[in-house]
Each structure stands twice: as structure tokens, then as C-alpha cells.
Amino acid sequence: MKKLFMFLAVAGLVTFTANIASAQDEEAAPAAEEQVAAPAADEEEAPVDLFAGSGEDVPLHQALKTKFIEGGAGFMSLIIICLIIGMALAIERILYLAFSKTNTTKLLDAVEEALAKGGIEEAKKVCRETRGPVASIFYQGLLRADQGVDVVEKTIVSYGGVQMSLMENGLSWIGLFISIAPSLGFLGTVIGMIQAFDAIQAAGDISPNVVAGGMKVALITTVGGLIVAMILQIFYNYIIAKIDSLSIDMEDSSIRFVDLMVKNNKK
């Protein structure tokens, strides 16, 4: 349930941001029209310096909106949906992994101290009050402490696999959107090329004006799909790196926990 609420919150935030950007575009449109309608007499009197910035460039979000419309609402909307859902899943995983991080050295010291003072039950209480997969693994091992160290070790290995699966949950969907986004862009490219050849056939001419529309659709959809795939790939690799770091931490702390249980049984 927490994952669902987190996913909905991220999706809502992305949607809210998109609405704000759209509202800014509508406010900026009249100003842009006034700039276009400037008198031409000034342009004739003053020479144009191509290397000097005017300070009134088109805003980035306005340029992106224009390219989105030029690329075709159908395919570009699907690509944007891939980006939104993929980013929501990636942010949810990043937050989950951030909350899963545990100071294992401090936890092991607390468990050792609890075993010395109150025994297994006190150690269980420490693990219950600590969040993260490492504490959950320790708790499962403590539940079977009376069955011997071998059983505890097998339990830790088995439950460690469960925690790894929980950390990797949702990665397959992110990988799916990484594959789909450029595929949609390439599909838009093919359709844009078909439109260009249809225009050539209808006009009986191969002039640039005839094929420009279809070629623009082809290039914009391809660029959009590749950009979305690259953005999601960066987040995907970051999540994989975090999972690898947590898994190494889990394995190291599990070995130290088994050693701790062996020492406790000898006492």
C-alpha cells in the first residue's frame, strides 16, 4: 500500500508540473505574438549582428512544446507517457532503496548488546524497531535461534533472496519503457517517411517543401524516443548500483551476524 501511495504521489507531482508548464505557455503566447509584430523599419535601419544574443530567446519549455506538436500528438504523447510512468517507477525505487539503507555496524552492536542483556527476545525487539532489509533478515534468523546456527544461516540466506526480490521489484517495467520509447520513436520515423513519400507522389515533385513535413515528424519522434530512453537508462543504472551496494552490505552483515550467533551459543 505504501508503494501505491508513493507511486500516485510521484505521478501527481509530474502531472501538476506539466499543468504549470502549460499555463506558462499560454501566458507567454501573447507576448511572443507582440514580439513577432514588431515594426520592420527598425530592422532596415540597424544591421543585424548574428553573434550577439538578443536576450529574448524562446523559453525552453515553449520550444519543447512546439516540437511536441510538430512531432505529432499521437506518437509524442505515447513517448511522454513512457517517460512519466518510467520516472514515477524510478523515483519510487530510489525512495524505497533510500529508506532501506541501514547502519549495519550500529545495528550489529545493538543486537550484540541486547543479546548480552536480555537474550533473544531483547534482540528481536531491536530488529523490530529498525527499518530496512538487514534488520528483517536478522529478525528472521533470531526467530530460529533455538534450532541451531545451521538453521539460522539457511534462514538468512533464504530471506536474503526475498529481500533482493523486493528491492528489484519494478525494474522490469522500467526496462520495458526504456525499450518501448525508442521503438515508438522509430515507428514514428517510419510513418513520417511514408507521409513524405505520399506527399511526393501526390505532388509529383521532390522539392524540399513537399517532403519537409514528413521528414520533420520522422526526426522529432526519433529524437524524443531516444531522449526518453537515455533519461530512464540513467535512473535504471543508478538503481542497479544502489541495489548492488545494499546487497553487498546485506551479505557482509549476514556473515557477521552468524558469527555473532555462534559466539552467543558458546556462551
Return the closest-CA partner of residue 82 out of 173, 209, 217, 3: 173
Question: Where exactly are the structural domains of the chain?
Answer: 1-28+60-267
CA 121 to chain centre: 40
Low-confidence ranges of the chain (pLDDT < 70): 1-74, 205-214, 216-217, 266-267
Q: What is the pLDDT of residues 143-181, one digit of tens each?
A: 888 888 888 888 898 898 889 989 999 899 999 999 998
Tell me, what's the pLDDT at 228?
92
Separation CA 105–CA 256 (nearest Å): 10
Separation CA 163–CA 178 (nearest Å): 25
C-alpha cell at 66: 512546439
Q: Check residue 57 and report its DSSP letter.
A: P
Q: Indicate the pTM of the whole model.
A: 0.70
One-letter amino acid for residue 20 of the chain: I
Q: What is the overall mean pLDDT for the chain?
A: 75
Tell me, what's the pLDDT at 9?
52
Helix and strand counts by DSSP (H, E) for the chain: 10, 0
Half-sphere exposure at residue 4, Cβ-oriented, CA atoms within 13 angstroms: 1
Phi, psi of 223 (to 5 degrees): -60, -45
Tell me, what's the pLDDT at 51?
39
Integer-rounded Cα Rg, in Å, for the chain is: 29
Q: Is 192 exposed, middle or buried (0-12, 13-18, 19+ CB in 10 A)?
A: buried
Tell me, what's the pLDDT at 26?
47
